[in-house]
Chains A and B, each alone.
Chain A
């Protein structure tokens, strides 16, 4: 997994609450057996008409937002289906950070497995960042995971909180499975004990 330390780039405003994972990546695109290649269908039904032509009003179809690296969104981003294709599509498009006042739990976890940083901020902070992102002359933000700050175009900074372990894993691009297998004796002894106490769970 690619490390995440500091990201500078165009931030796109998506001032809607409850953006769900069906919108982020509609189900027809879940038929892929790969993790890559979904960037071209990110927000498919909001971004393209049925005939494949662009919907001009959609933010990612406008300059400079075609180069979006950061999305600033309304509350409860990523609700609905557990599809990890949502962060895969974001990543493949080039988005490595989403900023909102809250995230749905499953989507939040999925982001960290893919080197995407979901940042939770207060409503006031979101309003300021949404205004920054909406200024198409200069919608650039810098998100620094080491210092836990977002630097705005006017030079002001916004601080954010994040779980320490998740931060470490993202900063170092750590593989979860490798980390867990370092503790395999604990899993072995758990199973031995459970076989005794609840033998009906084993065959």
Chain B
């Protein structure tokens, strides 16, 4: 009888094309997503060697990082951004790859549109030249980010040469307390395991808190797995997963749907499957989380204070903390709720889906953005934007004083015109608070959508559970 296997083991085993010497394997890739920033050199490589794309129908491209979130019918002002977006369109046309270009009604952030279209499916291997490819792990897909050279390899061969990471289980068995979301959960996890906590591993998230999350909540959790060092963060598919996918444009239909679901039900980890590493995270009493520093692991509860470097566990950590505090302009011991903010960004592949927008709108309804704050919302896709408008969420945000933008990566990484000015402090629903991430010398505090909305209204970080 075969040994019990984890979800990751099952997907891995069923995608092995060849096992090479020394622990390297050729792994089949079912789904390949592309965006404009990290793909040009991959197509150029194919062109130079006279190679083609092996499976165009397993490939999907979208322009998301560089696109403006203001009226784009006028095109892109910045010549380099424009060239990159145009290059993606030209490359896709030349190689026959399906693309949602900037004005396509299905355009959006790559890790939002994949699931939205049913391109992402359980039990598949999904790659993209983008570290937040981990998002698709929420569907029980083995999804991870790759470099551009690896992207070229997938285009040419539909495979990757890779060694097998280890299995890691993160168990979160308490229900999430009121006021806490998938974002707070993943921030708490990263705060505990650190940015290298999962390096070399694929994480499987298990337990009640995970099962209780909606698919959108699960996507938020899986999305930030890479910030904990693990390239992929899987959640076993269940009825919620099937319900989400049913009827989506690229999902199987009819008899194939039934066959697919029957297969997907065999994917969850077997009883008795073993993991190389297991940790349990207690969330029964957590508060909404917020980052204070320049690493996603610099997490404290909103009820906490800016930490003191003298309490650091090592010299390296102490020196990193001092550097972060200086960059962020924070003093140890300051209560997080005293930190005033200048910008609020609700968007990014982490938190820009309809439930995120609803949660933020609920907080903001009938209230105004504080005078000192400049706030914007960028829905994750054009389809989400339209749905939000049907629900009147855009009016709620606009009346409160938010800018209501088009879909794109926007202020997450300051590559398009949406940037946080130097020295300004942003409460952001994105995934990274590195130095310079949202703009040179910009200061980022990562939070959930409801927390970002509450910060916009109060002009400072606040506990969304108290904020009336």
Task: Please give the residue numbers on chain A whose beta carbons come within 8 Å of chain B beta carbons, in ascending order.
Answer: 15-18, 20, 22-23, 26-28, 30-35, 45, 50, 74-76, 79-84, 102, 104-106, 109-110, 113-114, 163-165, 176-177, 179-181, 183-184, 186-187, 190-191, 194, 197-203
Contact = CB atoms under 8 A, between A and B. Distances in A.
A33 B41 contact: yes
A116 to B, nearest CB: 12
14 contacts: A26-B440, A31-B80, A31-B415, A33-B41, A76-B196, A79-B229, A80-B432, A84-B41, A84-B129, A109-B146, A165-B20, A199-B256, A201-B30, A202-B57
A22 B316 contact: no
Contacts of A27: 413-415
Contacts of A199: 256, 259
Contacts of A28: 414-415
B436 A82 contact: no
What is the size category of the interface that chain B forms with chain A?
35 or more
B434 A104 contact: no
Given A27-B414, A177-B156, A181-B156, A50 B440 contact: yes
Given A79-B229, A176-B149, A180-B26, A105 B199 contact: yes
Contacts of A109: 146-147, 150, 162
B260 to A, nearest CB: 5
Contacts of A31: 37, 66, 78, 80-81, 83-84, 415
B146 A106 contact: yes
Nearest to B230: A105
Nearest to A180: B157
A98 to B, nearest CB: 15
Nearest to A178: B49
Contact of A180 (B21, B153, B165): B153
A37 B436 CA distance: 21
A26 B40 CA distance: 18
Provide the main secondary structure of the chain B interface: mixed
Given A23-B434, A33-B44, A82 B415 contact: no
A175 B271 CA distance: 42
A111 to B, nearest CB: 9
Given A76-B196, A105-B229, 12 more contacts: A22-B434, A28-B415, A30-B415, A33-B87, A75-B196, A81-B130, A113-B150, A165-B23, A180-B157, A187-B28, A191-B28, A202-B57
A200 B229 contact: no
A45 B17 contact: no
A163 B24 CA distance: 10
Would you list the 4 A-B pairs with minimal beta carbon distance, nearest first? A200-B252, A113-B149, A33-B40, A31-B80
